[in-house]
Amino acid sequence: MTKKRYLAVAVVLAATVFLCVFTFALLPPERVTKAKFDRIQDGMRCGEVEQLFGSKGQAAAMGPRTEYEERYSWEASNGSRAYVYFVNDRATIHPIYTVWEESNETVVDKFWGWFGL
C-alpha cells in the first residue's frame, strides 16, 4: 500500500474511534443503579426515593396490604429493577418487598437492545 492509502485507513480508523467514544459520551447516565438503591434508608419519603432515581416509580404488585402500604419499582436500562416498600409514605427496608433484582439479560440481548431490536 502507498502512503496515501495508509493515511486514508488511519483517518477512517481514527474517525470511527472518535465517533464511538463521542456516541457513548452522549448517552444519558444510568438513573437506576444498585449503588443508588443501596443509598435508600429506612424512613425516606417516597419523593426522596423518586428524586434519587430521577423518576416516579411504577406501582408494583405485592401480597395482601393495608391502605397505608405501597410498593413501587424502578427499572434500569439493562433490565435490572429496584423494588421499594413504603408504609405511610416512608421507605421500609423489608427483606421480601424492598429488593434489587439483577437483570438476566445476556451480552447478545444488550447488543440487540442498542439497536432497538
pLDDT, residue 22, reads: 59
In angstroms, the Cα distances linking 28 to 45, 70, 74, 78, 98 are: 26, 29, 16, 13, 26
pLDDT, residue 20, reads: 56
Whole-angstrom distance, CA of residue 63 vs CA of residue 53: 25
Cell of 115: 439497536
Secondary structure letter of residue 56 according to DSSP: P
What is the DSSP annotation of 63-80?
A: SS--TTEEEEEEE-TTS-
pLDDT tens-digit profile, the chain (117 residues): 688 887 777 777 877 776 755 565 555 567 899 999 999 999 999 999 999 999 999 998 877 777 788 999 999 988 899 999 999 999 998 888 889 998 877 767 776 776 766
Whole-angstrom distance, CA of residue 67 vs CA of residue 86: 11
Asked if 43 and 91 touch (Cβ cutoff 8 Å), the reply is: yes
Identity of residue 32: V
